[in-house]
């Protein structure tokens, strides 16, 4: 299972693709099975004045629900761990708790791109 994420151009906010729109909450993200996300990626890349560098991330079932596999993506979906009142995690609630409860041991599909990019 995957989701499509990017940073919003105007403010750098982490956003997720949801049926042609960009949403701020991971809980609202559209889910893709297998290759189903490739069309969305193409559409996202055609929006250079809306988002920067869209890419797919791997998800897995955690104790509280679906969460990104990599902790880097969970931090993007939550906010900085040193300041619980900053970022998306400040909203609290079940969806946030699910992300916080998740752990992962595999590498994010975004990782390889990241290293080459720098």
| Residue pointed to by tokens 């996300």 | 37
Q: Is 37 in the site for another protein (CB under 8 A)?
A: no
Site string for another protein, 63-82 (x = CB under 8 A): ------xxxx--xx--xxxx
Using alpha carbons, list the distances in angstroms from residue 67 to 9, 45, 46, 72, 97. Answer: 24, 24, 27, 11, 10
Site string for another protein, 85-104 (x = CB under 8 A): -xx----------------x
Q: Are 4 and 56 in contact (CB under 8 A)?
A: yes
Among 28, 38, 39, 83, binds another protein (CB under 8 A): 83
**Helix or strand (DSSP H, E) at 7:** strand 2-8
Q: Binding residues for another protein, per CB under 8 A?
A: 7, 9-14, 48-49, 52-53, 69-72, 75-76, 79-83, 86-87, 104-108, 111, 114, 118
């Amino acid at each position: 299972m995957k989701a499509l994420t990017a940073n919003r151009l105007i403010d750098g906010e982490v956003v997720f693709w949801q049926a042609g729109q960009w949403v701020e909450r991971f809980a609202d993200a559209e889910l893709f099975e297998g290759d189903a996300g490739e069309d969305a990626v193409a559409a996202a890349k055609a929006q250079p004045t809306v988002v920067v560098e869209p890419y797919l991330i791997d998800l897995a079932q955690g104790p509280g629900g679906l969460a990104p596999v990599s902790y880097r993506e969970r931090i993007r979906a939550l906010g900085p761990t040193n300041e619980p009142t900053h970022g998306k995690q400040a909203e609290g609630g079940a969806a946030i708790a699910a992300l916080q409860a998740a752990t992962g041991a595999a590498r994010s599909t975004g990782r390889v791109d990241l290293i080459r990019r720098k």
